Amino acid sequence: MASLVRLAELTWRAPTADAFRRNIAVRVRELRELAAREDAVADLLDRVATESARAA
């Protein structure tokens, strides 16, 4: 959520449309990278839960 707030603050202050598009592109890339990391953590937690259940 903080990223979206920051996105709004930065992009609307862009002096030109091109700067606005660059800011959006950067923020979208950052959000995609964050989503990929969150997916990796979720996969790891699933594997840990599976192995824990198997060991129990």
Q: Residue 48: what pLDDT?
A: 96
Spatial distance between the Cα atoms of 29 and 18, rounded to a whole number of angstroms: 17
Q: What is the pTM of this model?
A: 0.59
Q: Residue 8: what pLDDT?
A: 65
Q: Residue 23: what pLDDT?
A: 83
Spatial distance between the Cα atoms of 52 and 24, rounded to a whole number of angstroms: 42
Q: What is the DSSP string of 10-29?
A: HHTT-SSHHHHHHHHHHHHH
pLDDT in tens, 1-56: 666 676 666 655 678 888 888 888 998 999 999 999 999 999 999 999 999 999 98
Domain ranges of the chain: 2-55
